[in-house]
Amino acid sequence: MTNTYGRETTTDQLLEGRDLSGKRILITGGSAGLGVETARALAAHGASVVLTVRDRAKGERAAAPIRACAAKGATVELVDLDLESLASARACADALVREGKPLDVLIANAGVMACPQGKTKDGFETQFGTNHLGHFVLVNRIAPLLVRGAPSRIVVLSSAGHRFADVNLDDPNFERSPYEPWQAYGRAKTANVLFAVSLDRRLRDRRVRACAVHPGGIRTELGRHLTADTMKQLTSRMSRPGAPQFKTVPQGAATSVWCAVVASADEIGGRYCEDCGVAKPTDDPEAMGGVRAYATNPAHAEALWAKSESLVGERFSP
């Protein structure tokens, strides 16, 4: 069937006429930006959503309008999670596993972008530690709930920013190289794609499929760390001839929703998606779309997996 969706498609257009009753969907970063819109759209069509929040009061404020527009029978639940802390990721996952309710979809939406150099509570570079390692632990520990809910899906939010840099497995924390915010962001977003590639390979035989998503450029709280200098760099990139312009939040959340409940599992499994479709591979540095080969290389993905296990001190089997 021909995909009629594109970069301007909104969440409501995607879900028009769809009934998601009975689906249980976990979304990290559920108290702002794309997380809120993703949850709103899914709950409005009957899905029960579990939102991870770092700030409970902020999460309750965000959840109120989602509950107000949720379809009959849909629920909105908050759980505490700080992805800058592996202890928090473990506690969140373990509590959900003890509860035992199956998951149909997990959307790894939370993240930070181009922040000043810093470290997570476990000593990892902030962007790599939060965007990748926090999710690495959380998703792997929650995997039994997705297997129980199979056929199920994992949607990992990446970015076109993966084209800024490949992961550096020899120096993931910038201990031997000068820190640059956009390079660190690129490394973390490449890690997100590689993580999805490895997850899909490990779990597809158990009917759990994984993919990565570029939502597009959207003005949300993700940009809260941008300085005048980093914003100037971003604006320069966005103003190049042929560069896509900013999306609205409903347009930005649409690709996550498309991957979660609209596209076929075989179409998206192990892929990088953008504009409600599967992106084409490209190594053209001037290309405005597509995915770099290093971000989907299976051997590279396995090397990152092994490095991640070493860094977090845990091994995860399928």
| Residues annotated as catalytic (active site), given as ranges | 185
Q: What is the pLDDT of residues 86-145, one digit of tens each?
A: 999 999 999 999 999 999 999 999 999 999 999 999 999 999 999 999 999 999 999 999
Locus of tokens 């490895």? 198
Q: Is 147 exposed, middle or buried (0-12, 13-18, 19+ CB in 10 A)?
A: middle
Residue 65 preceded by cis peptide, ω within 30: no
* 125, amino acid identity: E
Is residue 25 in some structural domain? yes
CATH number of the domain where residue 235 is located: 3.40.50.720
Is pLDDT at 188 greater than 50 in this prediction?
A: yes
Instruction: Look at the chain and count its residues.
Output: 318
Is pLDDT at 223 greater than 50 in this prediction?
A: no
Q: What would the mean pLDDT of 303-307 be, rounded to a whole number?
A: 98
Is residue 317 in some structural domain? no
Is residue 150 in some structural domain? yes
Is residue 2 in some structural domain? no
Is residue 258 in some structural domain? yes
pTM assigned to the model? 0.92
Domain count, the chain: 1
Domain that holds residue 287: 11-311
- DSSP letter string over 161-177? GGGG----TT-TT-SSS
Contact 250/8 with Cβ under 8 angstroms?
no
Can you read off the two tokens belonging to residue 37? 């819109």
pLDDT of residue 218: 87
Is residue 292 in some structural domain? yes
Is residue 5 in some structural domain? no
Beta bridge partners of 291: 281
Is residue 316 in some structural domain? no
CA dist., res. 277 & res. 5, Å (int):
7
Contact 95/62 with Cβ under 8 angstroms?
no
